[in-house]
Amino acid sequence: MCYNTHMRIIGKIKIKRKITPYLQAIPEIILYEAVSKMILVLLVFLLEKLMMWAIYKTGRVAVSSGDFVFIFKSPYGWIAILTALIMCGVYIAFDINVIVNYAGEKVKERPTVLWKIVLESLTEAARFFTPGGLLVLFYATIIAPVIGVGMSISLTKNLYVPNFISSVINSNMLYSILYRAFVVIMVIIGVLGMFTIHGMVIDHISPVKSYFMSARMVIKNLKDLVVQLFMFFFKYSLVSTVIFLSAVLVPALTGLFTSLISESSGRFCAIAMILFASIVLFASMSLLLPLLTMKLTQLYYQYYDNIPMALRTHPMDNIKQMAIVIFCAYLLCWGVTYVIKENFNTFFPPVKSADLIGHRGAGNEGGENTLSGISKAIDLGCYGTEIDIQRTSDGYYVLNHDNTFKRVAGDPRSPSEMTLEQIKALKLTDAPGETVPTIEEVLDVSKDRIVLFIELKGSTADQKMCDDMIALIRQRGMIDDCVLISLKYDLIEYIEQTAPEINTGYLAFITLGNVGELNCDYLGLEEEAATPAAINAAHENGRKVMVWTPNTANSQRKFLLSDADALITDNASQANDVFDQLCSRDDLERMMDSLLDYI
């Protein structure tokens, strides 16, 4: 339907604030979601194969944060970039467009034809590859997930600001203010544009025109919009809670009575209760976006035509069939419960062990990049400690993370601008009485006590630094006590080629392709990049995986339960406590951790 021939609804329809239409739409939504996701998986599989072929044709195995410039220098690289953009468009089509099209048909009370909606959704995805559409695509795939507002696609929904960037932002007042101002602006842009995709998909309006139309609608109807969305979320939460309690009531009561007779029966019912609760929670979270989209679509038509609208209820002729399906699913869940109980350790293995590596010494528990910090990491029982080295103007190597000494010693000069004597005269703010250590001093303190993960840092991180560190490690006989790591993949490749006996680690926070084939001993992945698929790919190629930098108890818990080999953290004591708690869990706590983490 064109913009100029939009259907007008004659007469006013009394608004019915009911939840029944949404409940009645759930079976169809599940069908549409299942079919669209199957098509999405197939298309993405083919696109990923094309992208991997293009990356391999450039002579590389993966694109990552420390090695991405090459992709702009080859025609195959541009094929990979175009494929990635198309993949985002495909995700938009099947994550958002399908449900918007479906909701539009439901509001207009037209028959919902699956194949027609799928084709229309794919067609509308092409609108995102215009100048204005690319802005919408960028917001939906990058901005919205990072700031947690608006519609985003599942491909990038878990994006967030990496810890190493957020720590820099939070440590600088100006950066912090600017970042928060940026977030506020982006949130406002997202709120004003909440009907943009509706205009693009339903009425085929251009992205820019659709955005400004959406902004006018939001501003004009702001009060009603807030009330409508508040009531939607209130009712959704209420219904979800009732369904949740109903689902766990039978296994909970059964377990309460049978536990008095048999411990095994009580445990069986407890497992069933957790399984049922997890299924309801998963379903509730999965259905929220589609049902919210239906609500927004209803409001889009209402605000567009300035005529109150409501979704209509319809007689449920197939209520018996639905009841039978639900009953069979309920019995199936009991069957799955029995299988889980008999094979519990297979489904929910005990906590895995992961080495702890202190960040910049001992992180928050010792002086940053100091000898006392390294000693503290040893006292905490850390397997290793990560440090940063830079070269002085007279050729020595000292520990420092930032480009300058301003944060740690109040001196705005960089290590490369100062001699070792000048650096030794600095007074460290978080380690009174200590001086900036040289790498030789660190090697003396750490030998046979802790493994050093030496990051080649700053503007002086070059092949000379690699050669000097290789020679020093060989000279000290500390090949097994040191790992040379870097954000620059070319330096890691150089070390692997010139001194393969030296342990290396490549740090990455963005990855694309088969990261497991990158040439290194340790693959250091930022939290967001440390997906189960990436960890498995690394292990299949004989690489170890270290995750940086999980500092919260929740993130430490997550990766201590994963297959990661090591965690670089600022809070090693906390990680030790979390590990002890995980080791002391009973079977049901292990089950809850795994299922809730999946949800």
3-state secondary structure 341-406: HHCHHHHCCCCCCCEEEEECCCHHHCCCCCHHHHHHHHHCCCCEEEEEEEECCCCCEEECCCCCEH
Q: Is the pLDDT of residue 285 over 50?
A: yes
CA-wise closest residue to 103 among 174, 178, 44, 21: 21
Residue 137's pLDDT is what?
87
- Show Cβ contacts of residue 224 under 8 Å, excluding neighbours closer than 6 positions: none
450 domain residue, yes or no: yes
pTM comes to 0.80
Tokens of 386: 């990560």
Cα 520 to Cα 512: distance, rounded to the nearest angstrom: 16
Give the per-residue pLDDT at 310: 61
What is residue 62's predicted lDDT score, i.e. its pLDDT? 85
Strands 451-456 and 482-486: parallel
Q: Which residues contact 74 (CB under 8 A, 6 or more apart)?
A: 57, 58
- DSSP per-residue string spanning 147-178: HT-S---TTTTT----HHHHHHHHHSHHHHHH
**391-432 tens-digit pLDDT:** 999 999 999 999 999 999 999 999 999 999 999 999 998 888
Reported residue count of the chain is: 599
108 token code pair: 């207009």
Closest CA to 342 of 247, 271, 255, 250: 271
Helix H or strand E segment including 77: helix 75-92
Local confidence band at 150 (pLDDT 50, 70, 90 cut-offs): low
Q: Is 99 a domain residue?
A: no
Residues 6+ positions from 198 with CB-CB distance below 8 Å: 100, 104, 210, 214, 296, 297, 300
Residue 523: strand, helix, or coil: strand
Rounded Cα distance, 519 and 504, in Å: 9
Distance CA 595, CA 279 (A): 9
DSSP tag of 429? T
Assess if residue 65 is contained within a domain.
no
We report the CATH number of the domain holding residue 547 as 3.20.20.190
**Residue 277, pLDDT above cutoff 70:** yes
User: How many folded domains does the chain comprise?
Assistant: 1
Q: Which residues pair with 358 in a beta bridge?
A: 385, 569
Q: Give a yes or no: residue 288 inside a domain.
A: no
| CB neighbourhood size of 210 (10 A) | 26
Bridge-based pairing of strands 566-569 and 397-399 is unpaired
For residue 45, count other CB atoms closer than 10 A to its CB: 10
Provide the mean pLDDT of the chain: 86
Strands 451-456 and 397-399: unpaired
Paired tokens of 382: 């850390």
- List the structure tokens of 316: 């449920």
Q: Is the dihedral of CA 49, 53, 55, 56 positive or negative?
A: positive
Q: How far is CA 33 from the centre of its chain?
A: 22
C-alpha distance from residue 421 to each of 347, 389, 405, 413, 424 (Å): 59, 16, 14, 14, 5
Closest residue by Cα to residue 290 from 95, 530, 506: 95
The CB density around residue 2, as the number of other CB atoms within 10 Å, is 8
- Within a domain: residue 532? yes
Residue 362's domain comprises 355-598
Give the H/E segment covering residue 48.
helix 20-57
Is residue 276's pLDDT more than 80?
yes
CA distance 502 to 451: 13
Residue 462 lies in a domain: yes
Could you tell me which of 367, 301, 354 has the C-alpha nearest to residue 522?
354
On the CB side of 12, how many CA atoms lie within 13 Å of its CA?
Answer: 6
Q: Are 74 and 82 in contact (CB under 8 A)?
A: no
202, 24, 179, 5: which is closest to 102 by C-alpha?
A: 202
Helix, coil or strand: residue 438: strand
pLDDT band at residue 17 under the 50/70/90 scheme: very low
Give per-residue pLDDT as tens, 54-70.
998 988 888 888 888 88
The helix or strand, by DSSP H or E, that contains position 504, with its residue range, turns out to be: strand 503-508
For tokens 């299942």, the residue is 34
CA distance 110 to 102: 10
Tell me what the mean pLDDT of segment 244-264 comes to: 76
**Structure tokens belonging to residue 296:** 């927004």
Q: Is the pLDDT of residue 265 over 90?
A: no
**Structural tokens at position 191:** 């709120």
- Whether residue 563 contacts residue 246, with contact meaning beta carbons closer than 8 Å, is answered with no
**pLDDT value, residue 324:** 78
**237 within a domain of the structure (yes/no):** no
Retrieve residue 223's tokens.
Answer: 């009060």
The rounded radius of gyration (Å) of the Cα atoms in the chain is 28
CB-based burial, 399-408: b 16+ in 10 Å, e otherwise: bbbbbbbebb
Instruction: Report DSSP state, residue 508.
Output: E
Q: Pick the residue with more confidence: 159 or 453?
A: 453
User: Which pLDDT score, from 0 to 100, does residue 233 have?
Assistant: 93
Residue 513: which region, alpha, beta or left (left: phi > 0; alpha: psi -120 to 50)?
left
198 close to 300: Cβ distance less than 8 angstroms: yes
- Domain assignment present for 428: yes
Identify which of 148-152, 283-287, 453-457, 524-528 has the greatest average pLDDT: 453-457
pLDDT in tens, 90-129: 888 888 888 888 888 877 777 777 888 888 888 888 888 8
